[in-house]
Amino acid sequence: MNIVKLTLLLVCVLMTFSGVSVAGEPKRLKKSEVAAFIGSQKVLHSLSEEMKAAGVVSFFKYDPKLIAQKNMPIFVENVRIMQKDTPAYYDRLTVIVTGYSHNPTVENTPVYRFTSAEDWASIGDRVMLAHFTENSTATQTGYDDLISALPPGMLDKLDPERRAIVEKNLDLLRSAQNVPEADKKLVESFEERLKKVLFEMVAATP
C-alpha cells in the first residue's frame, strides 16, 4: 500500500465518527455540556424525523465524505447547511436547543443552556471526537506508527499535489491525538446514553 492510500485509510478510520480537528490548546468539555448535548436528543428526535421525511438534511446527518474532503465537523456543518438552505428548520432547531435544559438531578451536575444552534453543534462535535478517540487505537498510535514507518525522504519523492494531501491528513491524524484525556474519560462515563445519539445519526443518514 502506498503512503497516500495508507494515510487516507487511517484518516477514514478517524472520520468514522467525527471530523473535528483540534488545533492548539484544546478546550475542555464540562460534564454539564455533555449531559445537555446527550439529553437534547430526546427533544430533537421529532424534528429530525420530520426533516428526514421532508427530504432535507437533518442536523443529525453524518456525511463522512464531506468531512474527509473538507475537514469539517459533523454537526457544525449540518447546522450551517440548515441556516443556508432551510432557515425555517434552523430557526426551530435554535428555539428547541436554547430552550432545553437537562435534569440536573439525574447527572448531579449544573444545568447547561445552549446559547445557539451553533453552540449545540460545536459541543456535539467535541463529544463525538472524544468518544471516537477514546475507542480507537488508530487515533492513539496511528500518527506515531505512520511516521516511524515512512522511509527516509518518502514525502520528498511525492509530487506536490499528493504531498499536500498526505501532509494535510497527517496533521488531522496528529491533532486527533491532542484530545484531552479528561474529555475522553468524561464522555466515556456517558457511554450508554450516548448510544441514543449514535442511533439517531444512523437513522438520519440515508
Per-residue pLDDT of 23-33, as tens digits, reads 445 578 999 99
Per-residue pLDDT of 122-171, as tens digits, reads 999 888 878 877 655 444 455 566 666 666 777 777 788 877 767 766 66
More confident residue, 21 or 154: 154
11-30 residues labelled b (16+ CB within 10 A) or e (exposed):
bebbbebbbbbbeeebeebe
Cell (9 digits) for 90:
434552523
Q: What CA–CA distances, in Å, run from 121 to 109, 116, 148, 164, 173?
A: 21, 9, 36, 29, 22
Per-residue pLDDT of 183-206, as tens digits, reads 889 999 998 888 888 888 888 877
CB-based contact 78:59 (threshold 8 Å): yes
Sign of the alpha-carbon dihedral angle for 122, 42, 65, 28: positive
CB-based contact 2:100 (threshold 8 Å): no
* Separation CA 16–CA 128 (nearest Å): 10
100-114 average pLDDT score: 82
Which residue type occupies 182? A
CB-based contact 12:128 (threshold 8 Å): no
Give the residue extent of every domain in the chain: 3-15+28-204
